[in-house]
Structure formats: C-alpha cells, structure tokens
C-alpha cells in the first residue's frame, strides 16, 4: 500500500477541524497477539542531510526536519552515533594514550545520556513479574552500592542486580601496563582460596565483608530488586608457589608469603608442590554441608582439624609444563577433589569427591540462605542465617560437569526459591555446546523441578557481530538467527531456546580491563565476541526488543568514573581510563522501557525492502509495539507500508517521532542513520500540522 504523503498531512492541516483525521491510541487492548509489517525504504539524498546534526535551511523534500515529533522537537541528537566523533577510526578510539595510567581516549558525548522519555505513554513497568532485565555492577564494592542507587535501578525498569564474586580470593597485583602484565587486576576475584570467608581485608580488590554483602542483599530486596552473585567454583588460586624456595621445603598450601603476592607471571612454577590443599573456614550450619565433616575421606587426611580441599600436581618440578595459563594441567590434576580437569570443557565425566561436593553445597546454601526454603525474601540477610541471594551467574560453567551441577542443585533444593535465576558462562559460537548444561535441573526437589540452567548467549553475540559488520545483510542475518521462541538458531551451530538464554552485548571478558585499555577495544588479536563501539548501542536495541531470552546489561561504575588501581592496589581517582557506559545510555534506557512493556507479546519480523542495501531490520511485538534498527550511515523515508498493527498513534522513545497507523498504513516514517527506534502506543498531543490527533 502507498504511504500517506507528507503533503497530504500538510494539506489536511489547512482544512476545517471537522475534516481532521481522528485516531485512537495504540494502547487499546489488542484482539490478537501478532501483527505483520511490510515497508519499502528510500534513502534520503545525502545532500539533503546536514551532518552537523542541525538542519540549517528549509528543504524541498522530506528530510529529518519534516518528521512529526512531540512538541515539534525531534530529538535526533541523543543517540550514541550522534555523540561519537564523526570519522574517528576504531584504532584511534581504542588507542588514545591508554597504555599508561590516566590514559586518555574518546568517550560518548553527554547528550548520549540522561534522555527523557516522551509524555503520553504508559507508566514504566517495574518489579519482578513485570520486568526481567539483568544489570551487572561489575567490579563494584558492595558498600559502594547504596540503597538510593538500587532504587534508581528499580525505577529505570531493571529487575536483577548481579555483583562480583564474594568469596576470599587471591590478590593479583597489576602494574598499570596491560600489555606487560597480560592480566587484569580483577581476575584475582576469580581465583578462590576459601569459600567459608566473604572478602579478604588483605586484598584491596575484595568487594566487601559478609556484613557488606548482607546489607546489599537486604537493601535490594527492600526496593524490589533481586540480587545475584558471581560464583567461581571451577578453579582455585595457584597453590604452593613460593619463589626461590625448593619444593621440598615449601609449605603445601596456598599462602600470601612475606613480600610476595600471587602473580600470574611469577615464573616460579618449578617450586610448586606435588601435593597441596586449600583450607576452608567452617560456617555453622553450612560448611561443611551435611554429615561430611566426619565421614568424608578428603576431610580425614588433614592437619590440625582443618577441613580442606586437596589436589595433586602431575608435573611437579617441571618448570615448562607445570601450570598452564588457566592454572591447571592435564586430566587428573585435581585428583578427584574437583570434578573437572581444567578450565575448559574436556569431556571429564567423573563425579566430585564428597569433600568438594560438601564445600560447594554448603557455599551455595549459605548464599541462598535458609529463608529461601519457604520462598521468603522478607528476612534480613546475614552471615549467620544466610544471605538470601536470588541466584548465581556461574563462571566458566564448562569447568564442571553436569553430574556435579545436578547433584549441587538437588542437595541444596531446600534453600532454593523457584524464582531464583541461574546461568552459566561458556564462550562459544556453537549452541550445541550448551545442550548438556541447559538440561541441568536448577531447582530440583521441593520446588519448580522443571527449571533448567540458562546460558549466556555467546552464539547470538557472535552472530550480532557478523550481522552488524560492514557489508553484511542485516535483515537476512537477524531473521535467520532469531525467532519468537529461539534466542539463537542455526542449521550448523544449533539452537538456544529463549527460556534458556541470557542475551548479552558485552561482559567482563569481552570488554578489556577497566583499569587499562578502553572498553569496547579488543584484546591482543581478534575476538568474535567483541562488539564494535559504533554497533554496541544497536546490538543492545536488538536484545532488548526481541522476545526470546532475558536481556543482560553490563556496567563498570569504576571505569565509568575514571577510577583505577595504583601499584599498592588502592582504588584511586584519575588512574582509570574510563569506559563507554551503556547501562544508562539512551538506547538502553529506552530499550529497557520497551522490553518491559512488550513482555508477553509475540515477536514477528517485518519485511523491509531498502532500495539501496540490506541495512535495516524491523519487528513487531504483539499488535502495539514496533522496533526498527538501521546500521547504515543513511537516513531513510518509508514510501510504502502495509501492516496489521492496531490503528492508532505511536511514538518513538528515542526521537519522539509520532506516527499514525490508519487503514493498514503508516502515515509517515523517517528512519535516521545508525539508530534504533522503539515505537510504543501514544495518546498525547501532536503538532497542528500533523493532520491527525491522538487523544
């Protein structure tokens, strides 16, 4: 069908009010949960666009300046693309002077943040059951997350806050030169030492005490948020390494020796012991879990009444092969103490020893808390009764086998609410690798036995990188890869169902160390999981608009505030290089609103015919929500449309552009370059020149 002309709209505005087209708000209840859309897009000639972001003269044909917007003010300049130095190369953006402390680099302009949603739309949905978006506050000390901050996240529409690992871990010193050290300082938080302790006062990168964690959980619950933590149960800190001391005289458990802290590149592997253990602190009622304190063999062979996890080094004394970069070696390194052989999927199928299972069962139960047995979130969290945490992100889930996890969840089912969320990290572009993990029952026993493990959706991330690449066909890529029920699908790389998918654009492993090189810039070499900084806001738009899966948004508040770690391990202002922040960037703010409003509405891909190239994709959610993404540096005008969306008025949350659907046609639609558009039902006023009303 032919799109209603702009000139028809202008003509109608000049006739009597009796002839004005009236349209009901798109917020009326729909009679169906799906809708279709076909549209043809015509590029707006480049000589009609002023790239300084402000039109300085009247144009004779349809341009951005002619769009119908709330209060006659189109907010074209609030996108990430409009706040990046135009023409800046990725190399220039990533380099700056980021090889030293206080390095400089480019950042998004302030207009990319702090947007105001248009008036005349439904109230923001908040609270569990109405929303499901996860916000990670990576690398943030628990005490720094105030109740006011949590309230703000809730008001923005976030549902779950995810924080960094709480257990006592190694301190990995960082000199300030990423290229030299080759490891970020926060990596120590993923090198556990003792699961019976929360935090470590000797480690400046610990995230807080048990009381800090308990306060954070209680505050999150008070404002209506869920709180989940990272758990790292697939590896331990390198044990027994003591530089300059022969293995025959070194102590056989991990310690922070005088004058020495754990160092990834310490080169003292030849002194590591052939056998070692990690003493674990007892926690009354939790660690060790059950009756294993007296019956478990791996607890019986210890000294001074310690409970400890034991391990053997199969290559003791061999300075060339003793430790790999993952602090593990060949199968059998853990001597059945841990159920996996290495920090990667290796086909290991053995069960965990009773000691390992007991420690990790107790740690999980302690974090979830006894009150979770009755499904309560009202009890205050504490180190004594349990922390009442609402689930886990499991670091490198492939480092443990499914047998361990099924036992883990079964043993701790009395502490596990049916509303808890559990998901694993396994970077791979092949969803078939997830099949054995998505079959894990995460709430077996007394509640929700049908719940299964979710996975961070790295296959989708790799696919989005490909779809947004220069010259790639955007619509063809997205429509083949994402469906209403599948968050990823491929004839060769398998399928990840939406119920098992946590969709991401970046996480701590795909943005470089916040204390060194700028976020969104690659590690040494190439990485198919690194999202180009131009495309990240567009990719966030896709994962927040699509139906299948749960969206997750990454935030590093320290990097955003330009704080970094000095040589003494102290967080200091001005030493960080900053980070592009997206959790509060306009495309994400609007996307979170759109996602929550459209929950439960079926996604249908539109058919878009852009006359120059496949650079634009669109989808509808139910009959009342429309999403458009344009990766091209080209503005488009829709010239023909046909849709079964509910007749009425809709407004784009980003640009505040208003469209009217009547008789199966969209009256006028302008799609700006490198943008996302989220159209939602609108019942406010329109400019007099629009030719329609929306009241």
User: Which residue(s) pair with 659 in the sheet?
Assistant: 650
Cis peptide before 288 (omega within 30 of 0): yes
State the span(s) of the chain assigned CATH 3.20.20.80: 131-237+353-594
User: Which residue(s) pair with 43 in the sheet?
Assistant: 636
Cα distance between residue 343 and residue 234, in whole Å: 7
* pLDDT score recorded for residue 433: 96
Cα distance between residue 206 and residue 188, in whole Å: 9
Residues in the chain: 695
Q: For residue 388, give the nearest of 416, 367, 408, 409 by alpha carbon.
A: 367
CATH 2.60.40.1180 is the classification of domain 6-75+603-693: yes
State the span(s) of the chain assigned CATH 2.60.40.1180: 6-75+603-693
| Burial class for 78, CB neighbours closer than 10 Å (0-12, 13-18, 19+) | buried
Cα distance between residue 613 and residue 625, in whole Å: 25
* pLDDT score recorded for residue 229: 98
Spatial contact of 212 and 187, defined as CB atoms under 8 Å apart: no
- DSSP letter at 138 equals T
Sign of torsion over alpha carbons 256, 570, 97, 170 = positive
Spatial contact of 24 and 680, defined as CB atoms under 8 Å apart: no
* pLDDT score recorded for residue 91: 55
Helices 402-411 and 354-368: crossing angle, nearest 10°? Answer: 50
CATH class of this structure's domain 131-237+353-594: alpha beta
Mean pLDDT by 10 residues, the chain (695 residues): 34 29 36 86 65 31 78 90 64 48 61 93 91 94 95 97 91 53 66 85 78 95 96 72 48 44 42 61 85 59 58 47 34 31 35 75 91 58 90 90 86 86 94 94 58 94 93 96 98 96 91 45 57 86 98 88 64 62 93 97 96 95 98 92 97 97 94 96 93 83
For the entire predicted model, the pTM comes to 0.85
Tokens representing 315? 């290559």
For residue 172, CA distances in Å to 178, 192, 203, 558 come to 13, 12, 9, 18
CA atoms within 13 A on the CB side of 84: 22
Cα distance between residue 34 and residue 644, in whole Å: 8
């Amino acid at each position: 069908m032919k799109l209603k002309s702009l000139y028809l709209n202008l003509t109608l505005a000049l006739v009597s009010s009796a002839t004005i087209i009236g349209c009901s708000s798109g917020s009326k209840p729909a009679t169906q949960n799906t809708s279709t859309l076909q549209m043809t897009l015509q590029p707006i000639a480049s000589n009609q666009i002023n790239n300084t972001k402000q039109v300085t003269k009247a144009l004779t044909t349809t341009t951005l300046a002619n769009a119908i917007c709330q209060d006659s003010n189109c907010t074209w300049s609030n996108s990430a693309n409009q706040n990046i130095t135009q023409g800046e190369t990725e190399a220039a953006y990533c380099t700056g002077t980021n090889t030293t402390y206080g390095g400089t680099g480019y950042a998004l302009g302030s207009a990319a943040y702090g947007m105001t949603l248009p008036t005349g739309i439904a109230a923001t949905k908040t609270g569990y059951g109405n929303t499901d978006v996860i916000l990670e506050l990576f690398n943030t000390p628990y005490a720094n997350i105030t109740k006011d901050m949590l309230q703000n996240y809730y008001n923005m529409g976030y549902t779950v806050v995810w924080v960094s690992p709480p257990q006592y871990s190694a301190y990995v010193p960082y000199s300030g030169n990423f290229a030299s050290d080759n490891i970020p300082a926060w990596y120590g938080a993923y090198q556990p030492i003792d699961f019976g302790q929360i935090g470590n006062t000797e480690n400046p990168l610990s995230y807080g005490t048990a009381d800090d964690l308990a306060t954070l959980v209680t505050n999150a619950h008070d404002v209506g948020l869920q709180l989940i933590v990272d758990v790292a149960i697939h590896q331990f800190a390198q044990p027994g390494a003591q530089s300059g001391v022969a293995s025959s005289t070194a102590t056989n458990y991990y310690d922070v020796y005088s004058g020495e802290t754990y160092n990834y590149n310490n080169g003292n592997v030849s002194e590591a012991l052939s056998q070692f253990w990690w003493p674990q602190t007892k926690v009354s009622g939790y660690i060790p879990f059950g009756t294993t304190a007296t019956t478990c063999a791996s607890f019986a062979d210890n000294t001074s009444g310690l409970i400890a996890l034991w391990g053997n080094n199969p290559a003791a004394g061999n300075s060339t092969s003793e430790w790999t970069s993952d602090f593990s070696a060949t199968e059998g390194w853990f001597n059945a103490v841990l159920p996996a052989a290495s920090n990667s999927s290796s086909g290991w199928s053995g069960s965990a020893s009773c000691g390992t299972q007991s420690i990790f069962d107790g740690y999980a139960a302690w974090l979830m808390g006894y009150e979770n047995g009755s499904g309560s979130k009202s009890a205050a969290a504490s180190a004594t009764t349990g922390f009442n945490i609402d689930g886990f992100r499991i670091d490198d889930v492939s480092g443990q086998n499914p047998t361990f996890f099924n036992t883990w969840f079964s043993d701790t089912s009395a502490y596990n609410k049916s509303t808890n969320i559990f998901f694993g990290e396994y970077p791979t572009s092949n969803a078939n690798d997830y099949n054995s993990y998505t079959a894990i029952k995460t709430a077996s026993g007394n509640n929700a036995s049908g719940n299964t493990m979710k996975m961070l959706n790295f296959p989708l991330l790799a696919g989005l990188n490909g779809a947004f690449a220069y010259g790639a066909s955007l619509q063809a890529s997205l429509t083949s890869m994402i469906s209403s029920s599948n968050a990823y699908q491929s004839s060769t790389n398998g399928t990840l169902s939406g119920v098992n998918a946590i969709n991401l654009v970046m996480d701590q492993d795909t943005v470089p160390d916040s204390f060194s090189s700028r976020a969104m810039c690659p590690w040494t070499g190439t990485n198919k999981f690194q999202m180009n900084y131009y495309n990240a806001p567009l990719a966030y738009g896709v994962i927040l608009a699509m139906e299948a899966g749960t969206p997750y948004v990454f935030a590093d508040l320290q990097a955003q505030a330009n704080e970094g770690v000095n040589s003494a391990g102290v967080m200091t202002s001005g030493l960080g290089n900053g980070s592009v922040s997206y959790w509060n960037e306009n495309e994400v703010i609007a996307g979170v609103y759109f996602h929550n409003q459209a929950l439960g509405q079926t996604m249908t891909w539109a058919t878009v015919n852009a006359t120059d190239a496949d650079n634009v994709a669109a989808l509808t959610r139910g009959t009342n929500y429309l999403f458009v993404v344009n990766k091209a540096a080209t503005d488009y005008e829709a010239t023909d449309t046909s849709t079964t969306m509910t007749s009425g008025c809709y407004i784009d949350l980003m640009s505040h552009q208003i469209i009217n659907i009547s008789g199966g046609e969209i009256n006028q639609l302008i799609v700006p370059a490198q943008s996302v558009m989220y159209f939602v039902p609108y019942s406010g006023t329109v400019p007099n020149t629009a030719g329609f009303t929306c009241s």
